[in-house]
Chains A and B, each alone.
Chain A
């Protein structure tokens, strides 16, 4: 029995329809990341599950019970908000304890639990402070503590690392998975950062245009994105998209790029004759001085060194712009001007131009 079962949720606001038939399952102890660009309804989904908003249609089952109509206080979930939502007129201690004061625990029992969670999140020293005296990182941890302290079976985390500075975000990204796994709760984690999604999630559910377009493991979402939209979200810089119409030559599919005819893996023969978009990851593009097998001429227009990698802006002979990404900054000596680019044919992704859906090769 899944801990969370969301079926066919619909929700509209005056501004339009936000969720259009959304379904999702989460098993006990799983961390499911809900990922998508901003404004797509991820927060709305969490609020529906928490009970703070009512769906227009659909059901929400939590721990096997139908909670679609239940009040928030009856659902037994813990939630951490993007903007922390701490109570300004209470100390950090009272903020955390508020998740327990509605229940039957004595003050001493509450204190024990709050202290334990505070120690876990390393905020014991600020327990008596008011929220306005805390740094963003401390506020975020207080909000997390409040969500965790009642040992909820279900945890809803709404982009908790969004408003935290970069260094702390990186640290938390390392700490969170073990923290969440140790709690044993089923976690729904909302984020817009694909790296966070891939680092944290057992499963990633990609929300685009009000529906889940793919629910799969991080590896699968990266290697086999269900659609062009999904592929573009994963990767920085984003995927290169090359419109093409592959044809069969000697039984093998090929396509035109930059004046050259490039080979595709044979398993994509089914793509021949259709209008496609070929996706080439910047990491897969290799830029060299001399031409090699499968390379095509480009001009290096700009180079952006970013320490652990460098991004090159390339222009093909027919005016198409591509981004290539290379590790390290050996590019210090990189010159602008003519060069050659090639890529590993096995690394490409092929999408149908009309629907945006990925065309699977015969192997996968």
Chain B
């Protein structure tokens, strides 16, 4: 029982991190109908900016405090992500208003490669560390209930809490502010939103900035776990099955999808792995996504697409 719970918690925490990236996809898809292939590149770009600023800023400004360095680097990296959002809107999206979805998808594919290259040009292409003081050693809990207790990774626990907090903040932003209301309006109907004077361009900059923020948080957490390197942009591939499972238009869907996949891949690895020769964790998410595409293509929480004939 103890072992099962350990696996379950491990899965939930990894799942939360998948959700974090998936939320980036959902935000942009909801507000502009664009499937943003560049989300992974944005994660890498944000993490690179964070890692390098944390290294450079103390040297430029002549201070040593790690906390201050991380704080300033976070602000600087966020500013960079907002600039990226603004440039993407200016140079790409505003030129492609009312184009086919496939055109926009290809454009984001271009943005992805461009960001990958630009990030490495600006910030270097080594492996960098992000050290935000995440505790590395695991902890034991519930020793009185289970024999030997449960071994939990503190790093994962903190990451999961941060992700959960981010989700709450985003939910409040969407539900409680008038800008959030405008974002939901744009997501529901572009034309109507414009007719009541909601500026599409500004909304898009905001959405891409928020997605950039989600990418930054994801980048910091993944980066401090795995190091900041090119493979970080591939983590986003794990988020694809999450959005297929949860539905492209639903933020709760992205969270639950992430948790399901995180838990599913861990449990299947442990309990089905020995029967199938192991290695399930790598492909489990994709097979699950495939099944969903066949049975319920709109995902668990996505809107059903009904076309008028």
A and B pair up: no
